[in-house]
Structure 1
Amino acid sequence: MTQRNADVRAALDFHAATRYWRAGTGTGDERLVMGTPPDVESAIWEEDRSLEPYPFKVYETLEPIAIPREFTPSALPALLTVSADGTAPGGDVVPDLAALARIARFSNGLLDRTVTVRGTTITYRTAGGTGARYHLELYFVCADLPGLAAGVYHYAAHDHSLRRVRSGDVRAALVAATGGEPAVAAAPVVLAVTSTFWRNAWRYKARAYRHTFWDAGTSLSQALAVAASAGLPTELVLGFADQEVNDVLGVDGVREATVALCALGRGGASAPSVEALPPVDLPVRPVSPREVTFPAIPAMHLASSLATGAEAADWRSATTAAAGPEPAGPLTALDPLPDHALPPEPVEDVVLRRRSTRNYDTDAELGFRDFSTLLDRSSRAYGAEVRPPLDCYLIVNAVEGLTPGVYLHHPARGAVELLRAGDFRADAARIAVGQEYCADAHVNAYWLADLGPLLERYGNRGYRAAQLTSALQAGKLHLGAHALGLGAVGSTSADDEVVEFFSPHAAGKTYLFVTVFGVRRPRTAPPRR
């Protein structure tokens, strides 16, 4: 049985077991719990602080390979690269070492900002991560490149360097694992994103598996934009034989596993055939003195895995209806900025000053053109072999010329549909488990999916794809907000309360991800009301 036709109860049961709920009587004793009543548990672990995971993967015996640290800003506006479609002019486009260093730095590198939580100092990354519990690793599988010999390289974020895990050109193994995916076959470099689940699960338990794809989507939104700024064609690939790819990278597929691939560039030398690869046996610094396994994570990962390249090819051959629901309410046409009017700031500068904004100016309106530009640019098509259809619902609190209320974005129509008018600031905070900045923000954007047809076509792996895609689109919106001088932040929500709030229109759908955005409150402003 292929993954596409497999029993999808695994995805549905996992989602039910990792729902967030607000428990209590509403008299000050409310708390966040996870699960489906009556089977609920505390949403947060962190029970043994001596096990707090080390946030980096460190190969103890591999010498670091120096890579560029300083980068000339690209010439394209950030919003142009955020909305790039992944294509490039014909001919060979082969990245060099500097291009890989740039992509790694601006999608999973370190910032010069830290936070101390209960005695632990955490250094922020260039891409946001849930709770700053960073768990992603980047690997490059490449041919001979200008400045870098063929091999498999791990990007070490802690010292901004590469370490060679394998020597030689083994790209053919990835071609086989993806079932001959054309973009992978033509790419001189394939970027692989892995997650070490425990590094996030230490805080978030089994829900960390959702965060795996949220954080991967956020990181990839920046990797795609940086690649576009360098003129590199890209294609995101989510269908692959999991263990075959893990074996290429030398990861076990249980504690650390590949969650996404991205073809970078086009052309150059063809991938030579490869024999069976020897296992990678390299000592790695322990993440913790010991690790706690939350069984739902390995169970869901196994249930959504593909065994062969043939299964991967079959999986991506499925199609879903791309057309969204027909609008029934009033439509307002969006008015996005054209290419020539976009702010000129490059994506590298935007990434370095990106923040999680939790203070919004409730005395100002968000300009309608900025609102339009963000929805338009973040929802445009990008290079990917699978893009699950998602619905973006909006709580509009204060946008110039728009009636406050609940809206649905129709990307193909370039419009938003008014579903329900009213002041829903209090509801925005309520379904965000009491986080008041959601009430203050000018817009709350929620991505939902109809999992029924999605899982029918893509099996349990469709759940992975939906979670990652929602976060990737939100990541594009977050970058775009900062490019326009605005603020944005991802949030937490009570799953079923989100669906109930957007119903009846959203009845039967599943909540995936939320980002709020708007005009930042000036630092000199008085405290929030």
Structure 2
Amino acid sequence: MTQRNADVRAALEFHAATRYWRDDDGGIAMGTPPALENAIWEEDRSLEPYPFKVYETLEPIPLPRDFAASSIPALEALSASGLDGAAAPDLELLARIGLLSNGLLDRTVTVRDTVITYRTAGGTGARYHLELYVVCCDLPDLPAGVYHYSALDHSLRQVRSGDVRAALGVEAPVVMAVTSTFWRNAWRYKARAYRHAFWDAGTSLSQALAVAASAGVPAELVLGFADAAVNAVLGVDGAREATVALCALGRGGPPAPDVAELPPVNLPVRPVSPREVEFPAIGAMHRASSLDTRAEVAAWRSATVAAKSPEPAGRLVTLHPLPDDAVPPDPVEDVIPRRRSTRRYDTEAELSFRDFSTLLDRSARGFAADVLPPLACYLIVHAVEGLTPGVYLHHPALGAVELLRAGDFRADSARIAVGQSYCADAHVNAYWLADLRPLLERYGNRGYRAAQLVSALRAGKLHLGTHALRLGACGSTSADDEVIEFFSPHAAGMSYLFVTVFGVRRPRGPG
């Protein structure tokens, strides 16, 4: 690791500086007392960022929109290991992944005279800031090169020609890169947008991995890479727009040829805003968690953290998920377009224990990645068939949940979620927490990136699973320290990463 990655104060200080708190007026403050500030920016609406990256001089390569339904049920695809399958990536797979992990839906909302078009993967506050690029060898229907996926018109644009995969340090026929243009999210969320970069990337990648699995194409998440080298390949500056994750697609293929020094990419791009406001904590944290050389990358990828699995002290309840031959047949092509944030739950109904079990089991299964930081999933159960309401911890290796504290915690669910009432109405609140110190000691500041992204990826799998079961879910936010206090003493010393609530949707009323 670099020296800046070895000193993990950057991650701990950034996490502390971007904590949420409920203020006395019912709003949200950010920081660590007494240094608190308003959590929301949006001070100049004339600067509202344009939500798409547009290369002004590159011709679009049209992509198909209509796909034959895959034969693998969505619940199987979202829980796939990523190691199976022998199909090779092609243009249709790139079109599927682009559309189903960052493409546009035929659904809009108007917020203060701004029309926002929803995407297939959720984004914090609908402030969409992610871009997808693919770096490939020669494919049967696409020449080798670097391509940008345009969500605006569902097309590819060639940024570079030729096979430059070797410059990425990842071996695969296709490498997909996910970047964030930080300002497009920071316009609303200030420095906390850096957390959101990894939350939203994890959500998007949960769907990309499921799409690849549904097509029989192996896929592996790659979080360790040389930042400057990868950004240079893509032609992004690494400061305003930076790579946050890679995904290797396919196996084998022609070896990547050696690459000479690449010329810079100087292509005119539509401005995101008339001007941008800088939040220095974003750049500081990104630099502190960057890797510079191949040797640093190799050392980072080889690090491991032993997942602590304390012996359960409370009552264990064995889960009973649906067997493979009983999951709904709906494929990802049908499930992803109906994915949305559900904020209205049927408080008169119970969530079936079988569906509860299935969602926990499927979302916690392993997937191929260079690192998988250990996370803990705490649950606040309000209304699950046959399950005592209370606080639970999921033990994936045991196929069980442990009752930590019984009781009705609906009011607490809304309170720690900064007053959002749908958290009290939902049948279950799922919180992903991590003990950051041992994780950072082993992975450096970059371990913070990994923890945030993987927590959101697991939540994304659960969210997608609810729609496969005709249920609903919603990602949310919470007051960091109140979350830890609520789940303590069991969660003492841990840090809040991500929360998703889920359950039975409230039936639509007449008309």
The alignment's TM-score, normalised by the length of structure 2, stands at 0.99
Letter in 2 for 1:198: W
The reply to whether residue 373 of structure 1 matches residue 367 of structure 2 is no
Letter in 1 for 2:102: N
CA distance in structure 2 between the aligned counterparts of 1:3 and 1:21, rounded to whole angstroms? 32
Aligned to 1:181: none
- Alpha-carbon contact 1:324-1:391 (below 8 Å) kept: no
The reply to whether residue 253 of structure 1 matches residue 238 of structure 2 is yes
The reply to whether residue 359 of structure 1 matches residue 344 of structure 2 is yes
Q: Secondary structure at the match of 2:401?
A: strand
1:160-207 deviation per Cα after TM superposition (whole angstroms, max 9, x unaligned)? 0000000000001112xxxxxxxx32x100000000000000000000
Aligned to 1:140: 134
Aligned to 2:102: 108
- Alpha-carbon contact 1:4-1:457 (below 8 Å) kept: no
Gap runs ≥5 in structure 1: 176-183
Q: Secondary structure at the match of 2:64?
A: coil
Aligned to 1:56: 52
Percent identical across equivalent pairs?
80
How far apart are 1:482 and its partner, in Å?
Answer: 0.5
How far apart are 1:525 and its partner, in Å?
Answer: 7.9
Aligned to 2:414: 429
1:193 to 1:17, Cα distance in 2 relative to 1, 3 A? same
CA distance in structure 1 between the aligned counterparts of 2:471 and 2:404, rounded to whole angstroms? 26
Aligned to 2:154: 160
CA distance in structure 2 between the aligned counterparts of 1:326 and 1:58, rounded to whole angstroms? 53
1:398-452 deviation per Cα after TM superposition (whole angstroms, max 9, x unaligned)? 0001000000000000000000000000000000111111001000000000001
- Alpha-carbon contact 1:3-1:304 (below 8 Å) kept: no
Letter in 2 for 1:62: L
The reply to whether residue 233 of structure 1 matches residue 233 of structure 2 is no
CA distance in structure 1 between the aligned counterparts of 2:90 and 2:365, rounded to whole angstroms? 28
Aligned to 2:78: 82
Aligned to 1:270: 255
How far apart are 1:132 and its partner, in Å?
Answer: 0.2
The reply to whether residue 33 of structure 1 matches residue 17 of structure 2 is no
- Alpha-carbon contact 2:5-2:288 (below 8 Å) kept: no
- Alpha-carbon contact 1:442-1:517 (below 8 Å) kept: yes
- Equivalent residues in 2 for 1:337-486 (5 A)? 337-486=322-471
Letter in 1 for 2:407: G
- Alpha-carbon contact 1:3-1:459 (below 8 Å) kept: no
How far apart are 1:88 and its partner, in Å?
Answer: 2.0
Aligned to 1:67: 63
How far apart are 1:371 and its partner, in Å?
Answer: 0.1
Which deviates the most, 478-487 or 264-273?
A: 264-273
Letter in 1 for 2:497: L
How far apart are 1:385 and its partner, in Å?
Answer: 0.8
How far apart are 1:470 and its partner, in Å?
Answer: 0.3
How far apart are 1:5 and its partner, in Å?
Answer: 5.9
- Alpha-carbon contact 1:138-1:193 (below 8 Å) kept: yes
- Alpha-carbon contact 2:5-2:446 (below 8 Å) kept: no
CA distance in structure 2 between the aligned counterparts of 1:164 and 1:508, rounded to whole angstroms? 47
How far apart are 1:317 and its partner, in Å?
Answer: 1.1
- Alpha-carbon contact 2:133-2:176 (below 8 Å) kept: yes
CA distance in structure 2 between the aligned counterparts of 1:305 and 1:385, rounded to whole angstroms? 16
- Equivalent residues in 2 for 1:205-224 (5 A)? 205-224=190-209
- Alpha-carbon contact 1:3-1:461 (below 8 Å) kept: no
Letter in 2 for 1:492: T
Q: Secondary structure at the match of 1:21?
A: strand
Q: Which runs of 4+ in 1 moved over 3 A?
A: none
Letter in 2 for 1:11: A
How far apart are 1:269 and its partner, in Å?
Answer: 1.3
CA distance in structure 1 between the aligned counterparts of 2:128 and 2:249, rounded to whole angstroms? 24
Q: Secondary structure at the match of 2:58?
A: coil
Query: Which of these residues, 279, 299, 303, is aligned with residue 314 of structure 1?
Result: 299
CA distance in structure 1 between the aligned counterparts of 2:467 and 2:310, rounded to whole angstroms? 30
- Alpha-carbon contact 1:3-1:305 (below 8 Å) kept: no
Q: Secondary structure at the match of 2:53?
A: coil
Letter in 2 for 1:163: R
How far apart are 1:54 and its partner, in Å?
Answer: 0.2
1:114-157 deviation per Cα after TM superposition (whole angstroms, max 9, x unaligned)? 00000000000000000000000000000000110000000000
Aligned to 2:123: 129
- Alpha-carbon contact 1:407-1:418 (below 8 Å) kept: yes
Q: Secondary structure at the match of 2:253?
A: coil
Letter in 2 for 1:76: I
- Alpha-carbon contact 1:82-1:221 (below 8 Å) kept: yes
Q: How many pairs align?
A: 511
CA distance in structure 1 between the aligned counterparts of 2:196 and 2:458, rounded to whole angstroms? 15
Q: Secondary structure at the match of 2:110?
A: strand
CA distance in structure 2 between the aligned counterparts of 1:259 and 1:61, rounded to whole angstroms? 26
Aligned to 1:179: none
How far apart are 1:475 and its partner, in Å?
Answer: 0.1
How far apart are 1:501 and its partner, in Å?
Answer: 0.1
- Alpha-carbon contact 1:360-1:441 (below 8 Å) kept: yes
Q: Secondary structure at the match of 1:111?
A: strand
Letter in 1 for 2:74: A
How far apart are 1:376 and its partner, in Å?
Answer: 0.2
Query: Which of these residues, 180, 199, 209, is aligned with residue 195 of structure 1?
Result: 180
How far apart are 1:387 and its partner, in Å?
Answer: 0.4
Query: Which of these residues, 501, 505, 511, is aligned with residue 516 of structure 1?
Result: 501
CA distance in structure 1 between the aligned counterparts of 2:45 and 2:132, rounded to whole angstroms? 27
CA distance in structure 2 between the aligned counterparts of 1:30 and 1:400, rounded to whole angstroms? 34
- Alpha-carbon contact 1:190-1:262 (below 8 Å) kept: yes
Letter in 2 for 1:431: I
Aligned to 1:19: 19
How far apart are 1:516 and its partner, in Å?
Answer: 0.1
How far apart are 1:3 and its partner, in Å?
Answer: 5.8
- Alpha-carbon contact 2:431-2:498 (below 8 Å) kept: yes
Gap runs ≥5 in structure 2: none
1:37 to 1:107, Cα distance in 2 relative to 1, 3 A? same
- Equivalent residues in 2 for 1:178-189 (5 A)? 184-185=170-171, 187-189=172-174
How far apart are 1:113 and its partner, in Å?
Answer: 0.2
Q: Secondary structure at the match of 2:97?
A: helix
Q: Secondary structure at the match of 1:300?
A: helix
Q: Secondary structure at the match of 1:400?
A: coil
Letter in 2 for 1:156: S
How far apart are 1:322 and its partner, in Å?
Answer: 2.4
